[in-house]
A and B are shown apart, each in its own frame.
Chain A
Amino acid sequence: MAKNVRTAPEVNAGSMADIAFLLLIFFLVTTTIDVDKGVLVKLPPWSDEPPEDLKLNKRNVYSVLVNADNQLLVRGEPQQVSTLKNNAKEFIMNPSKRSDMSEAPNKAIISLKNDRGTSYKTYLEVYNELKAAYNELREEEAQRKYGKAFEYLDKARQKEIRSRIPLVISEAEPTNFGEE
């Protein structure tokens, strides 16, 4: 009797591992580690007045139209998404100084217009290609001037390159075609 009073009964901890396993498996199954990724854009602020008509030199505008059938019209010529990036790059930098392409990279403006019936997938693809063109140009500029990748440059230099090759994508109100 005396022995029983003195020592508290031991709890069997052998099943602890099993319980922990059970919880572990639960969290393993419910875990989603993937982070949200996407194409970051900045919208222009809303104003109730219609935008001013800017007098733009036609050579500086790279107009991209995407119609309700998801076809592209770039500067009046039909084009494929796959060639869009390289053509846009050539237009922005204008290495051969052609008179029908942009005067300087910071004067180039990309005008993007779509129909209400354009599919979102195509729209994003086109937007992605245009953004890729700019990213590649900045990367090339960084390599040429500093011999380093753009993302490893310090803030001031990144800013400088960004101001030299500014990303200007102007989006017009879509036309009312092909909405379901």
Chain B
Amino acid sequence: MGKFQKKRGKSTPKVSTASLPDIIFMLLFFFMVVTVLRDSELKVENNVPYATELTKLEKKSLVNYMFIGKPVKNYQAQYGTKPALQLGDKFADISEIPLFLEKHRSTVPEGQRPGINTSMKVDGDVTMGFVTDVKTKLRKSGQLKLNYSAKKRPN
């Protein structure tokens, strides 16, 4: 009987922290898997407008991105303040779009190529003239699936 009485009272039992690293590792792996490291630095202002009829773009590998907006401050001396197009991580001319699309297309398995989407991230203050030029070029290059990137409108 005395055996059991010994521990009672004075000290609270210690919680074992030996499994803490395992828990942390689990969290770590979770975040490692869901992380998408930004692959292109934004060189244009890009504040996409709000909308309500949104569709999610599920497969990231089937999407290519085009950014349109005013060049950010650091690049204004070089590229001016008119709307500019950014493909990948550099400024580009509209005439470079077909090559850009072709490059992306070659990374996609042949069977999935009809599902390729172009996501246009256009700053809300850009005028439609430039956007229309880009759209026309997309049509001429046969890329007809287009997504106007937008944010969900807060209620």
* Proximity bits, A12-55, B CB within 8 Å = 1, else 0: 01001100110110011011110111111111111000000000
Are A116's CB and B139's CB within 8 A? no
Q: Is the CB of A118 within 8 A of B148?
A: no
List B contacts of A94 (CB < 8 A): none
Name which of A57-65, A141-149, A156-164, A172-180 contacts chain B. A172-180
The CA-CA distance from A40 to B144 in the complex, in Å, is 11
Cβ contact within 8 Å between A36 and B144: no
- Tell me, yes or no, whether A124 is within 8 Å of chain B by CB: yes
The answer to whether B53 and A119 touch across the interface, beta carbons within 8 angstroms, is no
* A87 CB–B CB distance under 8 Å: no
Which A residues are within 8 Å of any B CB, using their own CB?
13, 16-17, 20-21, 23-24, 27-28, 30-33, 35-46, 114-121, 123-125, 127-128, 131-132, 135, 173-174, 176, 178-180
Instruction: Tell me, in angstroms, the Cα distance from A132 to B150 when the chains sit together.
Output: 14
Q: Which residues of A contact B27 (CB under 8 A)?
A: 24
With both beta carbons as reference points, the residue of chain A lying nearest to B137 in the complex is identified as A46
13 interchain pairs (CB within 8 A)? A31-B36, A32-B35, A36-B147, A38-B57, A38-B150, A39-B150, A40-B145, A46-B139, A46-B142, A123-B131, A127-B148, A128-B52, A180-B82
B137-155 CB mask vs A (1 if < 8 Å, else 0) is 0111011111111111000
Q: A24-B28, A125-B49 are in contact. Are A38 and B119 (CB under 8 A)?
A: yes
CA distance A178 to B63 in the complex (A): 32
Given A38-B57, A39-B150, A179-B129, do A45 and B139 touch, yes or no (CB 8 Å)? Answer: yes
Partner of A42, one of B28, B57, B145: B145
B residues near A (Cβ < 8 Å) are: 17, 20-21, 24-25, 27-28, 31-32, 34-38, 48-49, 51-58, 60, 63, 82, 117, 119-120, 122-129, 131-132, 135-136, 138-140, 142-152
For A23, the chain B residues whose CB sits under 8 A away are 28
Q: Are A20 and B52 in contact (CB under 8 A)?
A: no
Q: Are A20 and B24 in contact (CB under 8 A)?
A: yes
Q: Is the CB of A39 within 8 A of B147?
A: yes
A39 pairs with B128, CB closer than 8 A? no
With a 10 A CB-CB cut-off, give which of A13, A27, A125, A176 has the most chain B CB atoms.
Answer: A27
Residues on A with beta carbons closer than 8 Å to the beta carbon of B63: 36
Q: Chain B contacts of A46 at CB under 8 A?
A: 136, 139-140, 142
- Complex CA–CA separation, A48 to B87 (angstroms): 26
- Whether the pair B35, A118 counts as a contact (CB closer than 8 A) is no
Inside 8 A of A31's CB, which chain B residues have their CB?
A: 31, 34-36
Q: Are A33 and B34 in contact (CB under 8 A)?
A: yes
